Amino acid sequence: MAHYIVDCPGYVAVIQRWCEIYRLLASGNSEKISSLPPISISRKEAWGSLPKERVPVDKETAGIYTGFSMFAEVFACISPKLRGYIADKVAKRQNAKTHIFHITRSDLDSLRHSIDQFLKDSSDMADTDLIMALSTRAIARAQETIRQRSRKNRFFRAFRSRKQIMPLITVFEVRDRLGLDDVDYAGNMLIPKIATKDANMLHTPTTTETLADTVNDLGLVTKDISPAYIASHIDMVMPRPSSFARPIARFIGHKNALTYVYDQSPYMYGVDFGTGNPDWVSPIEPFRVNLVQLLACKDPAEGVDVFMSVYPKVMEQVLKNESWTSVAKLLY
């Protein structure tokens, strides 16, 4: 069993290199280690792959990254060790409940076929778009069920705005969009895109039509992550060393904010220390709540694994949601 910090393919590339060196040492071929191509973690090299063209960063994302936050400034200035300590304490206080679900290829194809007539452009819909819509609806509906049952919320309901929002932070691993591979650059190339969605539209029962509406709506978030957009995002954050902390500062206290990691790593099982690839790969303890990420299963052609981390009461409701559980089978 291999354990991962669920992150980017660059992290897995480092693990694979570790395996490669170990196999050479174990087989008595240590002299070949020096001939292995170096793995670059230089951002300067990565920035060299950016195009000259630029397109505007969407307004909501730009507002988060360019706005001022005292918490973000302080958090960015403290030492990495202290940041890690704080992040660890926050993660433990969140008391996240995690599961891994498996969705088969046949179920994905069947679901895709059922909503095809309601999609604006079915040719552009990837598996991750479909799973993103289905999981977002399941979590939003679960959050609403918990809110409705809260005595405090029932008391103040008359004084609250009818419109509820669900911040959605979609994270893209963009190295492949820039033509980079694991050798070219093994560091993070994660570009978040932030959108605020009307949660009331996500609370409705999931039917083929409402699911298609969500796919169409979220498609406005996931499309157009082009090299020119990536370059504009990097231009925006480079002069602001504290920018990485601003989404954290904005959403740390928002219990409904959901992070969806859009790109799936295909190398999860490529961890051979000499005894073959593992039969099962599991992420380590959850490091944040309200997170959904796709993981490659043993046979990627057979389906996909979905890692979900939410609050315990929310997970209870997700597991009761037939629209989700009829497709996503509990694996771990």
Give the pair of three-digit tokens for residue 93.
């206080």
Average pLDDT, consecutive stretches of 10 residues, N- to C-terminus, the chain (332 residues):
52 83 94 90 83 94 89 86 81 82 95 91 82 95 88 55 80 88 78 90 92 92 91 91 84 85 78 86 73 86 92 95 96 88
**Considering only CA atoms, which of 227, 275, 278, 246 is closest in space to residue 27?**
275
Domains of the chain plus CATH, in order, are 2-330 (3.30.559.10)
Contact 267, 16 (CB under 8 A): yes
Confidence (pLDDT) at 181? 79
Confidence (pLDDT) at 250? 84
Query: Which residues, in sequence order, are CB contacts of 162 under 8 Å at separation 6+?
Result: 200
Confidence (pLDDT) at 267? 73
Question: How far is residue 142's CA from residue 151's CA, in Å, rounded to a whole number?
Answer: 16
Give the pair of three-digit tokens for residue 331.
């694996």
Confidence (pLDDT) at 6? 47
Report how far apart, in Å, the C-alpha atoms of 284 and of each of 3, 69, 234, 266 are.
Answer: 6, 31, 30, 18
Confidence (pLDDT) at 158? 52
59-66 and 227-237 helices, crossing angle to 10°: 20
Confidence (pLDDT) at 154? 58
105-115 and 127-149 helices, crossing angle to 10°: 80
